[in-house]
Every structure is written in C-alpha cells, then in structure tokens.
Amino acid sequence: MSSIRRSVQVMELLARKGPLGVRAVAQQLKLPVGSVHRLLLDLEAEAVAERTADNEWELSYRLLEITGIQLDRVELPRLAGPIPLFRSAHGVSRRAALVGRCSRPAMSEVVRRAHADGCIAVEI
C-alpha cells in the first residue's frame, strides 16, 4: 500500500474519531506503529496534523485551507447555479442561503428556518 493511501487513511480516521495516539491509529488501521509515526510526522511537517496537549494527534485546519483554495478555483457559486428567491413574512423577496449538508442519518430530513435577516438555513 502506498504512503499516500496510508496518509489518507490516517487523515480520515482522525477526522472521524478526533485526537488519537500513535498506537491507537496503528491498531485501528492495522499498520505498524513506526510507519504510522512517520506518516504523522510528515503530516505535521505539512501542517496537516498536530499534537494535542495530551500528546495525541489531530487534524489541523490546513485541509480546510486547501479545500477553500479548491472551491475558489472552481468558482463554486457559479457551479451551484442561481439561488431561488423566496417571499419573507414581511413580503420582501430575499435570496435563500444554503448553509450546509450533513450526512448523519438522524438529520436526513430537510429542515428550513427563516432567520431574522431573511435568509433560509437548510440542513440536510
């Protein structure tokens, strides 16, 4: 298995589980502790992972920065298309704002809330 594939597995595990020690990461991914330690040091050198006060490892915000660069490059608003207008309780047309998407099964139903500023938050 390539080191890139293992690095992605480490990042995904930390994203799902939160801070973990080297041994816990190695056990859950069934990888040698030494290999996991080297991967985490490489991720730390690239500011993708960092150590907590408890000497566990967690993801930093670097992946969000990289994602932001990608979203700027692909012009996400242009790809999303026009945002529909809606009529507020005061009869004023406003643009709807899509806040986010959640893949949690408990939140599979679409929930809409009108905010005081006239935006609608949609959670899936």
**Sequence ranges of the chain with CATH classification 1.10.10.10:** 3-63
Residue partners of 4: CB distance under 8 A and separation at least 6: none
Cα separation, 64 vs 35, in Å, equals 25
Residue 6 has pLDDT above 70, yes or no: yes
Q: How is domain 3-63 classified at the CATH fold level?
A: Arc Repressor Mutant, subunit A (1.10.10)
Cα separation, 77 vs 83, in Å, equals 9
- 48-71 pLDDT, tens digit per residue, is 999 999 999 999 999 989 888 888
Question: What global pTM score does this model have?
Answer: 0.60
- The token pair that represents 118 in the structure block: 């006239």
Place of tokens 């502790």: 33
Question: What stretches of the chain adopt beta strand conformation (E)?
Answer: 49-51, 57-59, 85-87, 93-95, 111-114, 120-123
Q: What is the percentage of the chain residues whose pLDDT exceeds 90?
A: 48
